[in-house]
Amino acid sequence: MTKMPRKTFPRALALVAGAAILVGGGVAHADLKLCNKTNSTIGVALGYKDDKGWASEGWWNIPPQSCKVLLQGNLIARYYYIYAIDYDKGGVWSGPATMCTQDKIFTIRGRKNCEDRGYKTRGFYEVDTGEKTDFTIMLREDSAHRRKK
């Protein structure tokens, strides 16, 4: 193995870093994103299990035809849970996994005894990320999880 002369090492490192930025467009970000593919503004709540147990968070208000990051960084779980409300046309995206929510912005630990703790119980639907570290959820008008009110 030949050593690089001291003077050329920083220059070589700068060239490699510059090439990585040009080719890849910068540092890659792994996140959980949700894209609203409807013509309505929606409110989204997220449920997940981490090293501290179950948690639910909300609300992200997502305008029509746009996306928002719900969790930043590499995903640590395979399954995440979504409950969403169509503010303009009514209806929800929901499922059988019960978690706690409230009407204002929240982060709630635990998913049992919601009403006893002053919260609402809502049914979230499961999203299987396939153990990917980066995943985008698409909410559509014709989704199997959409329920009209």
25 belongs to a structural domain: no
**From CA 56, how far away is CA 76, in angstroms rounded?**
15
Q: Can you give the pLDDT at residue 69? A: 95
13 belongs to a structural domain: no
Using CA atoms, how far residue 63 sits from 36, 70, 146, in Å, is 7, 14, 17
3-state secondary structure of 62: strand
Q: Supply the range of the domain harboring residue 129.
A: 31-147
Alpha-carbon dihedral sign for residues 23, 27, 32, 34: negative
Contact 137, 35 (CB under 8 A): yes
User: What are the tokens at 83?
Assistant: 């409950």
26 belongs to a structural domain: no
61 belongs to a structural domain: yes
Q: Can you give the pLDDT at residue 108? A: 98
1 belongs to a structural domain: no
Q: Is the pTM of this model over 0.85?
A: no
Q: Can you give the pLDDT at residue 123? A: 97
Q: Can you give the pLDDT at residue 29? A: 67
15 belongs to a structural domain: no
Contact 58, 90 (CB under 8 A): no
**From CA 61, how far away is CA 42, in angstroms rounded?**
6
100 belongs to a structural domain: yes
4 belongs to a structural domain: no
Per-position pLDDT tens, the chain of length 149: 444 444 433 444 343 344 333 444 445 568 999 999 999 999 999 999 999 999 999 999 999 999 999 999 888 899 999 999 999 999 999 999 999 999 999 999 999 999 999 999 999 999 999 989 899 999 998 888 888 76
Quote the number of domains for the chain.
Answer: 1
Contact 137, 34 (CB under 8 A): yes
